[in-house]
Amino acid sequence: MTPDLFSPLDMRDTTAPNRVMVSPMCQYSCEDRDGLPTDWHRVHLGSRAVGGAGIVMSEATAVEPRGRISPEDTGIWSDEHVEAWQPVTAFIAKEGSIPAIQLAHAGRKASKRRPWEGSTPVQPDSGGWETIGPSGNAWPYDGEAPPHRRMDHDDIETVIESFRTGAERALEAGFEIAEIHAAHGYLLHEFLSPATNDRTDEYGGSFEDRTRFLREVVSAVRDVWPDEKPVFVRISATDWIDDGESWTVEQSVRLARGLYEAGVDLIDVSSGGIAPASYPDEAGPNYQVPHAERIGDGTPEDLLVGAVGKITTPEQADGIVANGRADLAIVGREHLRDPYFTIRAADQLDALDRVDVPPQYDRAF
């Protein structure tokens, strides 16, 4: 039978009850700038599990302190973080969803204020820190950027090890899926894109060398993540820069093939973020779905693909899956507007018998 939005999704020995995933969305809400999730995170993520989403993914969670986007971002770099995340994952799992974590490093886009505070840089004397990246070029802020430097080989090895230990701690914290964040202009994407990677060593230049860092991170995570549990990678399929010197969909297809060989189970397909204006002027519904479809068509059949970007209606999400454009509908902002999007979708698509509506909410349906 053709899968639809409410078909289970098998990933190794993990089965999501449906094809809806809560996209990782930063909350910028750690209270003491210590990276520890709070009651906000437990309620925010837990309510989406109550709402029926098959997979509930955390925000970009830094594998080391300098990998945070803002000082208020979550982390997974200490045992204290493990303990803080455990009640969150336990509640998500209790409600029948799969708890997932996005392991991240912000690279040169780190150390800035929260969006509602202007997203301006935070200097070290105000609680910020030195940022790192493949080149010596800081993020092009209008004002003064935080201190920034080009990563040397020791830095690269340190970050790879941080992803490894972050994955180990995520497993101990109760997460069932690990996603590696290699999109949106953050550190791993900065190495992938010729627009930001001007290195001349084995981590820059050719496609093989620019993708080496990500491949080594994937290998480190896959080494410690159990064989029966899936690993995802989020990529920006294109930089949206038409200059012949940026990351393209063709390179994304080639990368996805290599990631499949390295043990990745799903490519989470987003786009843009490598530069301040690197998004299309007019981004309508499903604007990134063609990228997901192209990657799916160009890679082995059992490599799963997720589509994200302005998916707002049940019919739209169901159509993406039922028409074979992607295996997973990844829903972001609509989940902010409606934590119960999946139950509502089941109601509208006459599929309520295929979701577990909490008995406390039965009277609404």
**Is 134 in contact with 196 (CB distance < 8 Å)?**
yes
Token reading at 30: 């750690």
**Is 335 in contact with 315 (CB distance < 8 Å)?**
no
How far apart, in whole angstroms, are the C-alpha atoms of residue 325 and residue 89?
30
How far apart, in whole angstroms, are the C-alpha atoms of residue 294 and residue 343?
30
Distances (CA, A) of 78 to 70, 88, 95, 221: 18, 16, 27, 16
Instruction: List, in order, residues 6 or more apart from 115 with CB less than 8 Å away.
Output: 28
Q: Beta strand pairing status for 9-11 and 14-16?
A: antiparallel
How far apart, in whole angstroms, are the C-alpha atoms of residue 326 and residue 170?
27
Residue with tokens 């799916």: 296
**Is 76 in contact with 83 (CB distance < 8 Å)?**
no
**Is 166 in contact with 220 (CB distance < 8 Å)?**
no
Residue with tokens 């886009």: 109
Side-chain half-sphere CA neighbours of 285 within 13 A: 11
Given the residues 28, 141, 186, 279, select the one marked as catalytic: 186
Q: What DSSP letter does each residue of 191-242 carry, written as one string?
A: HH-TTT----STTSSSHHHHTHHHHHHHHHHHHHS-TTS-EEEEEES-----
Read off the DSSP letter of residue 341.
Answer: H
Q: What is the C-alpha R_g of the chain?
A: 19
Instruction: List, in order, residues 6 or more apart from 210 with CB less than 8 Å away.
Output: 191, 192, 193, 194, 197, 203, 204
Token reading at 160: 């790879």
Does 361 participate in catalysis according to the annotation? no
Just list the catalytic residues. 186
